[in-house]
Amino acid sequence: MHQPPGFSDPNFPNHVCQLKKSLYGLRQAPRAWFDKLFQALKSLGFTQSSSDASLFVLKVPVLVIVLVYVDDILVSGPDLSVCNLFIKKLSSLFPVKDLGPLHIYMQKLPFNLPYIYADETGNCIGANDYIATFETKSSIFKSHSKQEYAE
């Protein structure tokens, strides 16, 4: 490695420059974006779900739920004006393109889900093994649950 042209320091000819922020196209860019968004949501009072890292919840004064997928953000809550206020606050921190209300968020699944039974301790059991365990070519994943309350 060498110093880029125009930025070489004659006092330190063997030193190189360290990139202090991730740029688009680098492997660290999605993580850097998520960390920046995480800090912004945390400063606005949101807490991250312990069972899903992409889910953020604000419980007071009114419930606001934020779901993050790469660079898309889904905002939901019982009061539309509070959701719009959050979007306005977020747009003061980041460039935001509001695509309006979500019309379809879950399409019909290509299979029928079995019945799931849960007891008061949060233990779940499925009517068949599809939800409890499913296999792929490389590994086996087992489902797990974490009890959380939304007030």
Taking the CA atoms of the chain, what radius of gyration do you get in angstroms?
A: 22
Domains of the chain and CATH, by start = 30-93 (3.30.310), 108-143 (no CATH)
**Residue 102 in tokens:** 């979500």
State the Cα–Cα distance between residues 54 and 37, nearest whole angstrom: 11
**Residue 129 in tokens:** 């093994």
Residue 124 pLDDT = 47
Contacts of 97 (CB under 8 A, 6+ apart): none
Residue 31 pLDDT = 82
Residue by residue, pLDDT tens for the chain (151 residues) are: 566 677 777 888 787 777 666 555 677 778 888 899 999 999 999 999 888 888 999 887 888 889 888 888 888 888 888 888 999 999 999 888 888 877 654 444 455 554 444 445 544 444 444 433 334 444 444 455 555 555 5
